[in-house]
Structures are given as C-alpha cells and as structure tokens.
Amino acid sequence: MVTINENYLKLKAGYLFPEIARRVKGFAESNPDAPIIKLGIGDVTEPLPEACRTAMIKAVEEMGDRATFKGYGPEQGYAWLREAIASQDFQGRGCQIDASEIFVSDGGKCDTGNILDIFGKDNTIAVTDPVYPVYVDTNVMAGNTGPVNDRGEYGGLFYLPITADNNFTATIPDRRVDLIYLCFPNNPTGATASKADLKAWVDYARANGSVILFDAAYEAFITDPELPHSIYEIEGARECAIEFRSFSKNAGFTGTRCAYTVVPKSLKSKTADGTEVTLHQLWNRRQSTKFNGVSYIVQRGAEAVYSPEGQSQIQGLIKFYLENAQIIRQKLSDAGLTVYGGVHAPYIWVKTPQGLSSWDFFDKLLNLCYVVGTPGSGFGAAGEGYFRISAFNSRQNVEEAMSRITAQFN
C-alpha cells in the first residue's frame, strides 16, 4: 500500500477561500436571483494596466517569430526584470538589494508556501493570529505542527496575537523562535508597521539567529512616506530576512501570475556540522530544480510596471482601491460599526456587531445583504468576532454593498 503525507489530514476542512466559495455557491444555487457582491477573497477587478497589456502583446508577437522566439527562460527570471525590480523597488528606496538576489515567480502564495523546502524540520515557528492562512497550512503540510487545541491552534506553532490593544502589530516574543512570519501592510487586519516596529523585529531576529519571512504583497498601498515598504529599509535586515512581493495587488496580476522573492546573499545559516550555508544558494537550487520560471510574456508585462506609464497606471489602480477602502470605512463607521485598517491597505477589519460570531455575521451578510466577506475566525482564533471586507471591486459594487449593509445594521 502506498503511504501518504498524513500531515494533510491534520488540516482543517478546506482552505479558507475555497470554503467561502463553496458556501456562496450553495447560497447562489438556492437563491439564483440574489445579486451577490463579493468582497471576500482579495481578488482584483479592474483591467490590467495598458502598459502591461501592450508589453505582453508585443511579447506574444515575438514568440511568433523564429528570430525572437523564446524557449525556457532563466528559472530565476530574466535579468532585465530582476534589474528593474532591484533598482526601482529597492535601490531607489535606499535598500542594498542586488538583481541577483531577486527570484521571479508565479505567486507570493506559492513562494511563502514553498520557502519551507529550504528549512529544517525542528524549527520553532511564530505566526501572528490572525494570519494569512497559507503560512499555517503549509507548515501543517510540512509536518511542522502537532495536534490542534480547542481554540483551533496547532501545537508546535507560536501564536503572536495581533489585536486592537497592540495596534495589530505583534508584540516581540519573550522566548526564542527560529522562523517568524510577518505581513505588513497586514492581511487580514489592514494594519501597518512603522520603521520602529520592524527594527524591533530585525534586532530580535539578529540577536536570536532567527529568520523573518516578510510578506510585503500589499506595500504599494502605503501612502504615508514615513512607513517602510520593505524590511530592507531596516539596517541589518539583509542578515535575517527574506521578503515576498507580488504584482497581483498593485498591477492586477492575480490572473496573470507574477511575483518575486528576495533572498539576500548575506542571509546565512549553519549545517549541523557547523558549515556555513547561504539561504540564497538553497533557494536557487530549489527553484532551478522545481520551477521553470514565469512565462516570457508575463515577465515582459511585469517589466512594464516599471515604465513611467506603468507606474502612473498602477498608481491609478491603487488610488482607486484605496478610495473604495475609504468608502467602506466611512459607511461602516457611520452605521456604528468599529473598523480598522483600510488606510494603507485594501482590507478593512470590522468588529462584528451585536456580539455575532464571525461566521454568524458572514451568514447574516450573505442572507440579508447578499454581500460576501471573510470571517475573521478563518484567519485564526484571535480573529473571532471580526470580519474582513476587501476593497477590491468596482465602485458601483462597493457603494451598493455598503448601502445594503448600512440599511441592515443602522
């Protein structure tokens, strides 16, 4: 008999977003005329920027000519894209990141999950609570967790509660942990971290020999010039942090697929026998073995994000979604709900009214308002009593959803 990876059986029923989709599908089948508005999964709705489309169309034409046709590309991404990323996303902001430290990929979700391939099995792992579920589930799959307690927490994970009391930025642990997952601007709470917050984490990681896995998928939504976009804005982060970025939310690539991960060459660890190893060398080996790179066409589209037209078009998209977020914040506050986030992030974290549980509020919104959001408890035990609303939708849908909710809860 073939044995299986039984760690998968430890996972909670379904991954959060497919589980929501399943419930919504069931509702839609029994209520075929209900005009459902989805503010659940953070999926973009606005078209790809023209600069990206034009670059991709040109790349398609190149693929149709033997002289310019491309087969396999470099597993790490084409040099011209890695250089544009390094210079505009990092060096331009004073971060010493070289193009050779950038690994282009097909998604931040894949990279944050796959990164576990290069780490050992006996690390202590810290995640925030609430948290983007991928960090937890991929650790469960990798066998890094033990039994689940009655709060739904996995043994072997060290949970860092993020609550209104700590401004939704995790408090530094009073014990040593090896791997620390941080996401700012935060998914799901929409909170941001200041330079001082990140410095405290970098100092902790350096003092303890820990590695920070920093998810900056939402950095483009930061409008306050004082807030850091990258962990590498903090001195010493090159020695202790890996950063994940994505073109999904800034340039609308959720369906097109392009992202990247930064692994500085100065980030090192030691083998059991004391040999020094760079994490860059391991990730490079992992990617060149398990991944064949992102398509040439898509990488040309991503490169266009860095052109002057691309930059102005993505700024337009970000402004649009942030205005949606502002409308959601305003309307829900006017209706007496307590809201967090949504200022430098596309997510609004709402305290559920009338003491409702997260899933009860989900059902109420779906049944009474035909609006879909994401129950806070789906992101962890400390998310219970909260609800996430995504600002990714058309203006018309956001306004309509808000008027339905405020009519119901005013």
Residues that bind ligand MLT (CB under 6 A): 41-43, 109, 132, 187
Residue 285's φ and ψ, nearest 5 degrees, are -65, -40
Select from 292, 241, 286, 285 the least CA-distant residue to 262.
241
- Least separation in angstroms between residue 203's CB and ligand MLT is 29
Please report how close the Cβ of residue 28 comes to ligand MLT at its closest, in angstroms.
19
What is the C-alpha separation between 168 and 172, in angstroms, rounded? 12
CB burial of residue 335 (10 Å; 0-12, 13-18, 19+): middle
Binding site: residue ranges?
15, 42, 72, 109, 132, 187, 218, 246-248, 257, 292, 388
Strand, helix or coil at 97?
coil
Which C-beta is closer to ligand MLT: that of 40 or that of 310? 40
Please, which residues have CB within 8 angstroms of residue 98's CB and are 6 or more apart in sequence? 86, 265
Nearer to ligand MLT, 109 or 364 (CB): 109
DSSP for 146-210, please give it: --B-TTSPBTTEEEEE--GGGTTSPPPPSS--SEEEEESS-TTT-----HHHHHHHHHHHHHHT-
Residue closer to ligand MLT, measured from CB, 177 or 213: 213
Give the list of residues 6+ apart from residue 21 with CB closer than 8 angstroms, or none. 41
CB of 391 to ligand MLT, least distance (A): 11
Nearer CB in complex with ligand MLT: 210/250: 250
Rg of the chain on CA atoms, in Å: 21
Q: Which helix (H) or strand (E) holds 348?
A: strand 347-351
Min dist. Cβ of residue 384 to ligand MLT (A): 17
Annotated binding site for pyridoxal 5'-phosphate: 72, 132, 187, 218, 246-248, 257, 292
Task: Return the number of the residue (101 or 111) whose C-beta is nearest ligand MLT.
Answer: 111
To the nearest whole angstrom, how small is the minimum distance from the Cβ of residue 4 to ligand MLT? Answer: 25
- Least distance from C-beta 17 to ligand MLT, angstroms? 6
Residue numbers in the known binding site for substrate are 15, 42, 109, 132, 187, 292, 388
Q: Give the nearer residue to ligand MLT in terms of CB position, either 241 or 391.
A: 391
